Amino acid sequence: MVVDKSLKRIGIVMDLFGPINNPYISVRPATPDYHVGQILYKLAQEKKRGGRAWKKR
């Protein structure tokens, strides 16, 4: 999840490109707000727990 400095959700990362030492990201916005040129932050994702249980045959 990508957020701004007030931790408001901006969107999700769609693509990572550019040089390794100075990468850029493409963000899919959650709302049609205008955020070009702003500093954004990527929150760490928690590991998903659970999932589907396997059925025994």
Is 49 within the bounds of a domain? no
Report yes or no on 24 lying in a domain. yes
Domain membership flag for residue 47: no
Residue 54 lies in a domain: no
For residue 46, what pLDDT is reported? Answer: 63
Q: How many domains would you assign to the chain?
A: 1
The pLDDT of residue 19: 94
Is residue 10 domain-resident?
Answer: yes
Average pLDDT over residues 38-48: 79
User: What pLDDT digit, counting tens, does each position of 10-39 carry?
Assistant: 999 999 999 999 988 888 988 888 778 888
**41 or 57: whose pLDDT is higher?**
41
Decide if 23 is inside a domain. yes
55: in domain = no
- Specify the pLDDT at position 57: 64
Residue 28 is assigned to a structural domain of this protein: yes
Task: Please give the residue range of the domain that contains residue 32.
Answer: 2-42
Sheet strand arrangement including 24-29: 24-29, 9-17, 2-3, 41-42
- The reported pLDDT for the residue numbered 31 is 83
